[in-house]
């Protein structure tokens, strides 16, 4: 019996706004899946949608399908799982889920009763999760957070549903507890259950060996399994150096200072910079482009000092490092049309048409103001605007976030040609390892208060 769970363009919305979207994802019983992502990104909402336990303000569109060999069972129009599919979920706030008037033993006995299990099943489950038997008859009000979580996990083992959902199952658990959760989940997967876990705990997620997903900008995407150290570092300088930084560091948020490993971008290179939000990626762009002062070190462009601790580029020099900002709506004058914005800083009309081609901007969009464009279109207008100004180095700050994968791949191909054709360099800032993996792009990574160039591979 091979079970799998399929998400088919599932969108969970609350009050009309999309909370989390899943395009096409299949979760195999043998692997299970772990969803991570920053808090508030919609992990719990996704689990609740799966369990059919969303609040009234939320609704689900698209299809949730359980595939069993050739048979498909769908969640109904109201988002409820079909009766043949038993789902169970351990909520994040474990203590609140237990009735404080009852003991753990009574709670588990109730669960066993509901699902027609024997007291032996309960005993085995309690042993499996590592819950101390001495605490079985204590009121659940006196259990610690970790103990309460283990009671719930035991209940899940007893109930043994088809789809197991666990929300932050390792919060409050120590290393050994974490290992037991992994064991329990392994056993469940071995017996053909579908396990879906939402967690912040990277260590735990790593141990489960499940398919890993992350919610980025409200979309569930596959997370790259490769660790930063394993990803290929930026190529060593072979070719004409375009831009290089040495001893470079910059301040973010006043007190924090980010040190950047020395690196050189050579002509024609496309290099990524990956890190979670808040790691200082955009601030790095600002410091590199000379918008904000560097705390130390220097940036050399074409062998000449461009920006540094005591030096910020002014006037037309600034266009040589073009920073395509993350928030395109804010970065474009709301009064001007796309045509004006693209040609405003252009070197020539030829540069404009070349930039429009690179950014795939059709003539029909050019008469619109930024407010009348979609997010992706706006971002392409900003890209064209900066390309037309003739930069030597292009900093793309999460530029592809609102752009569909096909176009993204096409644009990247053209940008590569653009960089190679004019001895230029592109730095692609993103939090998406997967995209860089797919395109085989070497990358810098953020690590705490550093930006690592990683050790040269060759």
Partner 1 sequence: MRLLRAAALLIAGLSATAPWIATPVPWIVRHEGGWSFPIFGVGDAVDVSLFIIAGAAAAWTLRSRGRIAVVLLVGVCLLFRAVGTTMDPPPVAAEIVVRAPIPYDGVTRDLSATRLPVGISTRHLLGTDATGRDVAARLLRGVRNSLAVAILVTIVATGVGIVVGLLLAAGPPVLRLPTDLLATTVVAIPAILVLLAVRTVAGGGIVPFVAVLATLRIPAIARVTHASARDLLAAPFVRAAFGLGLPAVHVYARTIVPHASGAAYALAGFGIVGAILAESALGFLGLGWSSTTPSLGALLEETRDLPSSGGLVAFLLGVVLLGIGSVAADVTRRSARAGETRP
- Contacts to partner 1 by CB under 8 A: 289, 291, 315-320, 322-323, 325, 327, 330-335, 344-345, 369-372, 382, 385-386, 389
Specify the residue, 102 or 336, whose C-beta has the smaller distance to partner 1.
Answer: 336
Q: How far is the CB of 338 from partner 1 (least distance, A)?
A: 13
Give the SS3 label for residue 414: helix
- Residue 213: Cβ-neighbour burial (10 angstroms; 0-12, 13-18, 19+): buried
For helices 349-358 and 375-388, the axis angle rounded to 10 degrees is 140
Nearer to partner 1, 36 or 389 (CB): 389
DSSP 371: G
Alpha carbon separation from 18 to 22, 40, 60, 158, 324 (Å, rounded) = 11, 13, 10, 35, 26
Report the C-alpha gap between 431 and 162 in whole angstroms.
34
- Looking at the Cβ atoms of 185 and 386, the one nearer to partner 1 is 386
Nearer to partner 1, 127 or 330 (CB): 330
CB 51 within 8 A of CB 12: no
Residues 6+ apart with CB under 8 A from 279: 446
Q: In the bound complex, what is the minimum distance in angstroms from residue 295's beta carbon to partner 1?
A: 19
In terms of CB distance, is 385 or 431 closer to partner 1? 385
Minimal distance, residue 319 CB to partner 1, in Å: 3
Considering the complex, state which of residue 350 and residue 405 has its C-beta at the smaller distance from partner 1. 350
Best CA proximity match to 167, nearest among 193, 127, 191, 200: 200
Shortest separation between residue 389's beta carbon and partner 1, angstroms: 5
For the bound state, the minimum distance from the C-beta of residue 407 to partner 1, rounded and expressed in Å, comes to: 23
CA distance 112 to 308: 68
Query: What is the spatial distance between Cα 176 and Cα 174, in angstroms, rounded to a whole number?
Result: 6
State the Cα–Cα distance between residues 172 and 418, nearest whole angstrom.
51
Which CB, 122 or 332, lies closer to partner 1? 332
User: What's the closest the beta carbon of residue 250 comes to partner 1, in angstroms?
Assistant: 16
| Minimum distance of partner 1 from residue 333's CB (angstroms) | 5
């Amino acid at each position: 019996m091979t079970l799998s769970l399929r998400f088919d363009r599932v969108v969970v919305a609350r009050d009309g706004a999309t909370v989390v979207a899943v395009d096409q994802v299949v979760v195999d019983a043998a692997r299970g899946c772990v969803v991570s992502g920053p808090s508030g990104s919609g992990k719990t909402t996704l689990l609740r949608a799966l369990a059919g336990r969303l609040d009234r303000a939320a609704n689900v569109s698209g299809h949730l399908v359980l595939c069993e060999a050739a048979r498909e069972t769908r969640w109904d129009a109201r988002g409820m799982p079909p009766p043949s599919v038993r789902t169970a979920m351990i909520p994040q706030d474990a203590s609140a889920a237990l009735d404080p008037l009852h003991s753990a033993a009574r709670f588990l006995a109730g669960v066993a009763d509901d699902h027609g299990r024997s007291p032996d099943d309960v005993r085995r489950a309690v042993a499996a999760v590592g819950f101390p038997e001495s605490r079985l008859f204590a009121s659940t009000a006196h259990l610690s957070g970790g103990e309460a979580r283990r009671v719930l996990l035991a209940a899940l083992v007893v109930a043994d549903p088809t789809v197991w959902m666990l929300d932050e199952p390792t919060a409050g658990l120590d290393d050994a507890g974490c290992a037991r959760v992994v064991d329990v989940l392994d056993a469940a997967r071995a017996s053909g259950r579908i396990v879906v876990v939402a967690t912040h705990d990277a260590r735990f997620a790593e141990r489960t060996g499940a398919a890993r997903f992350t919610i980025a900008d409200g979309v569930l995407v596959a997370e790259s399994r490769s660790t930063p150290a394993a990803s290929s570092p930026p190529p060593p300088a072979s070719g004409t150096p375009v831009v290089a930084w040495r001893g470079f560091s910059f301040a973010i948020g006043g007190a924090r200072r980010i040190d950047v490993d020395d690196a050189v971008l050579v002509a024609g290179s496309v290099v990524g910079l990956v890190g979670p939000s808040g790691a200082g990626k955009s601030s790095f762009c600002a410091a590199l482009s000379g918008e904000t002062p560097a705390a130390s070190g220097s940036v050399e462009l074409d062998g000449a000092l461009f920006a540094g601790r005591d030096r910020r580029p002014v006037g037309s020099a600034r266009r040589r490092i073009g920073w395509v900002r993350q928030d395109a709506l804010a970065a474009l004058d709301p009064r001007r049309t796309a045509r004006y914005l693209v040609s405003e800083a252009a070197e020539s009309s030829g540069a404009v048409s070349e930039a429009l081609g690179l950014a795939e901007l059709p003539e029909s969009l050019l008469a619109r103001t930024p407010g009348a464009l979609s997010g992706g279109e706006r971002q392409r207008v900003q890209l064209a605007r900066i390309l037309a100004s003739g930069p030597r180095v292009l900093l793309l700050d999460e530029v592809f976030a609102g752009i569909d994968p096909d176009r993204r791949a096409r644009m990247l191909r053209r940008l590569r040609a653009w960089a190679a054709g004019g001895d230029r360099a592109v730095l692609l800032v993103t939090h998406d390892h997967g995209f860089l993996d797919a395109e085989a792009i070497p990358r810098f990574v953020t690590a705490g208060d550093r930006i690592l160039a990683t050790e040269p591979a060759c």
